[in-house]
Amino acid sequence: MSDRVQLLQGKNEVFFVRLLKNASTEAAMLIPYLTSGSVNQSRSTTNTETKSGTVHAVGSLTTTMSANFEDAISKVGDEIREAITKAAKIEVWEVRLDRVKNGKNWARYAQGYVTQDNGTNAPNAVSTRAVTFTIEGEPQEGWTAVPTESQQEINYVFKGLGVNDSGEAWTDGDVGTGANEDGGSTVSTGGH
């Protein structure tokens, strides 16, 4: 174990969600265009003064998770709206892309309900959503693999022009390569 403290960057925290009723039929979905996220945990305490000193009674854990994102036409956005409208239980994952062990990312998993879904629609900006998930019970921590499709969505990978065309991503070996295949004129670069 290293004594070196490693900072975690906010840009590397992402959120995934899924309606609990769909757990056996679909993978969790990345909340697209996330601008910020937070997890807030608290416990209420009651203090009783006695002749021997103060006695503290600790209450149960309260957890809320919040996600702010640019609104888009997406399945995940529609399912979040369904979750609050129909009081449907939802699963939420907070995933750290910059905390990895054996190829898996640290994650906090929870189940609960969408208790707020606020949209802002200014005329000179992209619509935004601020969603609050109120969690039941105690969130669980563990390690999970981020699916390739989600990692590509996060990383904004190169795509080709065709339908589902992954193209060929640029590599360091591509520097200075390629040719004008139509036989166009060439100019000497003086060996540079």
pLDDT digits (tens, 9 = 90+) for 68-81: 999 988 899 999 99
Mean pLDDT of 148-159: 66
The confidence band for 156, taking pLDDT boundaries of 50, 70 and 90, is low
Q: How many percent of the chain have pLDDT more than 70?
A: 82
Q: How many C-beta neighbours within 10 Å does residue 79 have? A: 18
Is 85 inside a domain boundary? yes
Is 185 inside a domain boundary? no
Is 148 inside a domain boundary? yes
Sheet strands side by side (includes 90-101): 29-30, 13-19, 90-101, 104-120, 128-144, 53-70, 34-50
Q: How many domains does the chain have?
A: 1
Q: What is the DSSP letter of 14?
A: E
**Strand, coil or helix: 46:** strand
Is 17 inside a domain boundary? yes
75, 96 contact by CB (below 8 A): no
Find the domain containing 119 and state its range: 10-174
Tell whether the model's pLDDT for residue 126 goes beyond 60. Answer: yes
Structure tokens at 109: 């998993």
User: What is the rounded CA–CA span in Å between residue 110 and residue 115?
Assistant: 14
- CA 146, distance to chain mean position in Å, is 10
Is 4 inside a domain boundary? no
Tell whether the model's pLDDT for residue 149 goes beyond 80. Answer: no
> Domain of 55: which CATH number?
2.30.110
pLDDT tens digits along 64-117: 999 999 998 889 999 999 999 999 999 999 999 888 999 898 999 999 999 999
Instruction: Please tell me the pTM assigned to this model.
Output: 0.74
Is 146 inside a domain boundary? yes
Is 190 inside a domain boundary? no
158, 88 contact by CB (below 8 A): no
